[in-house]
Amino acid sequence: MELTDALFELIDMRSFSNLWFWIALAVMWSSASHYVLGVPYDLVLRARRDGGSAVGDMEDLVRINVARLLYIGRMSGLWLAGITCFVLTGLGLLGFIYWVEFAQALFLLMLPMTFVGLLSLNTARLIQDTAASGEALYTRLFRHRIFVQVIGMISIFVTAMWGMYTNLSLGPFGV
């Protein structure tokens, strides 16, 4: 048996019938929803509920992550946009023109996360522009989390529908 045959047998390239793909999808959206601009949402809730040092910790983390996101956006935003568009276009063509299921799966993972990245960049800019703190910061982070969850729900729904269609149309052996 060749190395490539053993590798493809070990790693099922039919992504939508692979349990690991669905676990990765769930973990990805769970993490994206929990970390709001890189700040754990339980810290935001604790700061809002208890006040005190938790507020300072949360505001410091938000300030650090906002500055980091905006710096990355300013320094390499055009390069990242170009590379992201190139990768998404390549995956879209491979997946939906040439019917490579692995490329379809990666496309359905990466496209919505691109929207989450753009939303995070916009939220970071709004927080910095308004110098949000206190209740305004809680509201901004809450709104960002809700938008990420909505994108996640739509993404999971579309991915599940496409995965079911693919599995039903190909059959159990990917004929």
What pLDDT score does 5 carry? Answer: 74
pTM: 0.88
Q: What is the pLDDT of residues 125-145, one digit of tens each?
A: 999 999 988 899 999 999 999
* CA–CA gap between residue 84 and residue 79 (Å, rounded): 8
Q: What is the pLDDT of residues 45-67, one digit of tens each?
A: 999 998 889 999 999 999 999 99
What pLDDT score does 121 carry? Answer: 97
Give which of 44, 46, 26 is closest to 35, Cα–Cα. Answer: 44
Q: Are 162 and 104 in contact (CB under 8 A)?
A: yes
* CA–CA gap between residue 175 and residue 172 (Å, rounded): 8
Handedness of CA 97, 103, 108, 112 (dihedral sign): negative
What pLDDT score does 109 carry? Answer: 97
What pLDDT score does 7 carry? Answer: 66
**CA angle 127–83–101, rounded 5-degree value:** 110
| Per-position b or e across 71-84, b if 16+ CB within 10 A of its CB | eebeeeeeeeeeeb
Q: Residues in the chain with pLDDT < 70?
A: 1, 7-13, 171-175
What pLDDT score does 107 carry? Answer: 98
Handedness of CA 91, 96, 102, 108 (dihedral sign): positive
At 99, is the secondary structure helix, strand, or coil? coil
What pLDDT score does 14 carry? Answer: 74
